Amino acid sequence: MKKNRAVVLLLCILLIVAGITYVDIFGTDSTGAGSASDIKLGLDLAGGVSITYQVVGEETPDATDMQDTIAKLQQRVENYSTEAIVYQEGLDRINIEIPGVTDANAILQELGRPGALYFIAETDSEGNANYTGQMVQDADGNIGTQYVLNKTIEELMAEGSIKLEGTDVKDARGGSIQTNMGSEYAVDLTMTDEGAKKFADATRNAYEKGETLGIYYDGSIISAPKVEAVLTDGNAQITHMESFEAAEKLASTIRIGGLKLELEELHSKVVGAQLGVDAIETSLLAGAIGLIIVALFMICVYRIPGVASVVGLASYVALVVLLLNGFDMTLTLSGIAGIILSIGMAVDANVIIFARIREELAAGKTVKNAIKTGFDKALSAIIDGNITTLIAAVVLLFLGPGSVQGFAQTLALGIVLSMFTSLLVTRVVLNAFYALGAKSVKLYGVAKERKPLQILQKKWIFFGISLAAIAAGFIAMGVFRAKTGDALNYSLDFKGGTAVTVTFDHAMSLEEANRDVVPLIEQLTGSAVQVQTVQESNEVIFKTDTLNVDQRESLTEMLTSTFGITEDRITSETISSTISDEMKSDTIIAVLVAIVCMLIYIRIRFTDIRFGISSILALIHDVLVVLAFYAIARVSVSNTFVACMLTIVGYSINATIVIFDRIRENMRGSSDKDTLREVADRSITQTMSRSIFTSLTTFIMVAVLYVLGVTSIKDFALPLMVGIVCGTYSSICLAGSLWYIFRTKFAPKKSKSKK
């Protein structure tokens, strides 16, 4: 690369990074609002709309029907945001919280009234029309058919014109299909077993008369497709939809109309963030400070390559902010976890590359050749580590529940961007620096020859330490379960509790509520408290562990005497967990599928299943040790628990893959005199700086977040720090030893293991 070209290239990269950063902060229009301010934030960071539904009817609804309704509503509201939550309030109420929106009326209008879907015959038994259609033109000039019901639902029900109800529909999906005329949009319907019989009768009746079958929902007929055949297998298709959005909207409406319970809106309100403005500001400050410390660390340790990595890291951060807004992702604490992990992986890729460059310089190569060879040799470890974690992210994105999908989205985005910036941006900048005259070996550093550490010789000591830590966790869980009934310190997200709504004499900010009210409630109840303010009102919602009658009375007495409010301005309701059993099972299934997919990938790439099994065992070890920490330290197990564990899974597998990649490489170049033990010990020693430096930089990011963060962020950051340390320990002290044991005990066929 010529000097003039290098100057131009470097300036272009710096200008692009500066330009993206400017767009992130200030935007491109006169409002002065950049991409960063437009990123959707979750309920925990920004608040949103809260809607409470009441079950229609005088009798208390069946618990199974309530859970079924909540599960289906959860799927429906995730169309607005993957971070939306649905939970039970009292015996016959369901609460929906949707982040990132402020217009409750618009949500209610689009969501409609759940549980009011009917399939109506076009005419009754005497040939009288049940509904009629007329051509109308909307505000955009589009012409369509509007249907008017000629009778009441009660009359239609009595005369038998209602052929099916929403509960007869098992599923509805919108999409595109291929026909002789090309592609068109449609809705696929699947009926229940009982619904299939009813649907066969309904379509036979309509087909013989040459009529339509009206789909009625929430006060109007939303579709009246012509029946063109008798459908007896319980499957149907509504064709000739004008767009994919129209098909998906109709399918979604049919799904929500298929709820077992009919609901009516009780009230709706806009709630404030659960963590407040301070949480966002401190998180941003912590992120900035962490990045500065990491940048200084990289420059001090790696010199010129460190400067190149800082440019790459700056481009990574700028692109993440831009694309979070561009892809319309909702950012929560779980999402922040995904970004932290991907930042660590971005630094990790640079550390692997720079260590390789120093090794090549130690071997006597020129700086130019060392840079080229260093990137080439580091490529396989970077790709394998990132793709393995990306596989997990993709599986979680498609199979995981909404809260996990938010984590998976940001993690997947971060991994792709980190590979781009590490392998392309950093390389171009480093070559540009070389072309500008940074050719001295002193500016890059030379790897020192280190005597291999005897890690495998002490493997049983390390195994003993790990087993003791895991056993201590299980013992602690058993003790606490016997004493309190809960093995872990579960928060409201997992076990539900009591929501106390208080109307104060003045509008109270979240910070005021946390300062003046929360300590009093915690002292009285002995449990943690979540707070939400209600916009444009004096209401504040306090959520705590389930309170008995005496505790509720004591709480009411304390609030009235301390804040001078009357009892009628205090209401209490029992609420269910926001993390349902279905979400737990979905998460477990998604994680297991991800582990299997990672195992398959490692088997293909490393051609030795022992690498895969060893890496998975090291991963399970890290999860169990962190779980032990949760149990012993009594850290609150909230909705961030899942994100924390998933972050540790991604971090652990990435760290282990790097060591296994070096073992694989050294085995190719080993002589007959080299034993497997020596190869493993040498590989661990060679990657030691990578393991320590990557862990240190990621640890710095999380530690600053812990020091500056609010309580909820501390409860998230502390176990994550333990996981980072544990992941480093397992990759260095356990993974290689596990592989060695499997390799010697189950040696490959037609070959002799070198011990």
Q: Rounded CA gap, 455 and 735, in Å?
A: 11
Tell me the mean pLDDT in the region 546-574: 88
DSSP symbols for 77-92: HTTT-TT-EEEEETTT
Q: Is residue 555 over pLDDT 80?
A: yes
| Residue 517, domain member (yes or no) | yes
Q: What is the pLDDT of residues 729-748, one digit of tens each?
A: 999 999 999 999 998 887 76
Q: Rounded CA gap, 166 and 120, in Å?
A: 11
| pLDDT band per the 50, 70, 90 thresholds, residue 614 | very high
Examine the fold and report which residue of 223, 258, 293 is the final residue of a domain before the chain moves on.
258
Q: Does residue 630 come out as left (phi exceeding 0), alpha (psi in the -120 to 50 range) or beta?
A: alpha
Task: Quote the strand ranges of 481-627, DSSP E.
Answer: 497-503, 530-533, 539-544, 570-575
User: What is the residue type of 254?
Assistant: I
Q: Is residue 750 over pLDDT 60?
A: no
Q: What is the pLDDT of residues 328-359, one digit of tens each?
A: 777 776 677 667 767 776 788 888 899 889 98
**Strand-by-strand arrangement of the 235-241 sheet:** 169-179, 182-191, 235-241
Tokens of 559: 């609030």
| Residue 202, domain member (yes or no) | yes
Instruction: Give helix then strand counts, H and E, for the chain.
Output: 25, 19
Tell me the mean pLDDT in the region 79-85: 75
Q: Rounded CA gap, 549 and 241, in Å?
A: 54
Q: What is the pLDDT of residues 156-183, one digit of tens each?
A: 989 999 998 888 888 888 888 777 767 7
Tokens of 368: 């130019």
Distances (CA, A) of 10 to 16, 131, 424: 10, 70, 13
| Residue 485, domain member (yes or no) | no
593 and 676 assigned to the same domain: yes
254 and 307 assigned to the same domain: no
296 and 170 assigned to the same domain: no
Nearest to 677 by CA among 456, 463, 511, 497: 456
3-state secondary structure of 670: coil
618 and 520 assigned to the same domain: no
Please give the mean pLDDT across all residues of the chain.
83
| Residue 478, domain member (yes or no) | no
Report the CATH number at residue 254: 3.30.1360
Residue 333, burial from CB neighbour count under 10 angstroms (0-12, 13-18, 19+): buried
584 and 571 assigned to the same domain: no
613 and 503 assigned to the same domain: no
Helical H segments across 424-507, by residue range: 426-435, 459-484, 492-495
Distances (CA, A) of 299 to 12, 421, 429, 430, 448: 22, 17, 14, 13, 19
| Residue 17, domain member (yes or no) | yes
Helical H segments across 303-366, by residue range: 304-326, 333-362
| pLDDT band per the 50, 70, 90 thresholds, residue 752 | very low
Q: What is the pLDDT of residues 445-475, one digit of tens each?
A: 888 878 888 899 999 999 999 999 999 999 9
| Residue 451, domain member (yes or no) | no
Report the CATH number at residue 358: 1.20.1640.10
Q: Which residues, in sequence order, are CB contacts of 284 under 8 Å at separation 6+?
A: none
Q: Pairing relation of β-strands 40-41 and 330-331?
A: parallel
The residue ranking higher by pLDDT, 509 or 109, is 509
Q: What is the pLDDT of residues 87-127, one digit of tens each?
A: 888 888 888 888 777 676 777 666 656 667 889 999 998 88
Tell me the mean pLDDT in the region 539-549: 87
Instruction: Tell me the percentage of the chain whose pLDDT exceeds 70.
Output: 88
Q: Rounded CA gap, 514 and 492, in Å?
A: 17
| Residue 293, domain member (yes or no) | yes
Q: Are 659 and 691 in contact (CB under 8 A)?
A: yes
144 and 65 assigned to the same domain: no
Examine the fold and report which residue of 196, 223, 258 is the final residue of a domain before the chain moves on.
258
Q: Are 682 and 453 in contact (CB under 8 A)?
A: no
| Residue 112, domain member (yes or no) | no
Q: Rounded CA gap, 696 and 43, in Å?
A: 31
Looking at the structure of the chain, the number of domains it has is 5
Q: Is residue 148 over pLDDT 60?
A: yes
Threshold 0.95, pTM exceeds: no
Tell me the mean pLDDT in the region 136-159: 80
246 and 132 assigned to the same domain: yes
* Phi, psi (rounded to 5 degrees) for 663: -60, -45
Residue 26, burial from CB neighbour count under 10 angstroms (0-12, 13-18, 19+): middle
Tell me the mean pLDDT in the region 143-161: 86
> Of the ranges 483-487, 527-531, 731-735, which one carries the lowest mean pLDDT score?
527-531
57 and 150 assigned to the same domain: no
17 and 60 assigned to the same domain: no
Q: Which residues, in sequence order, are CB contacts of 528 under 8 Å at separation 6+?
A: 491, 522, 544, 545, 636, 711
Q: Are 456 and 680 in contact (CB under 8 A)?
A: yes
Nearest to 500 by CA among 524, 481, 480: 524
Domain that holds residue 546: 497-575
Examine the fold and report which residue of 258, 287, 317 is the final residue of a domain before the chain moves on.
258
Report the CATH number at residue 530: 3.30.70.100
DSSP class of residue 746? T
Q: Rounded CA gap, 49 and 393, in Å?
A: 28
400 and 367 assigned to the same domain: yes
Q: Rounded CA gap, 73 and 96, in Å?
A: 8
3-state helix, strand, coil in the chain (%, to 5): 60, 15, 25
326 and 432 assigned to the same domain: yes
Distances (CA, A) of 609 to 553, 598, 615, 662, 739: 61, 11, 10, 16, 10
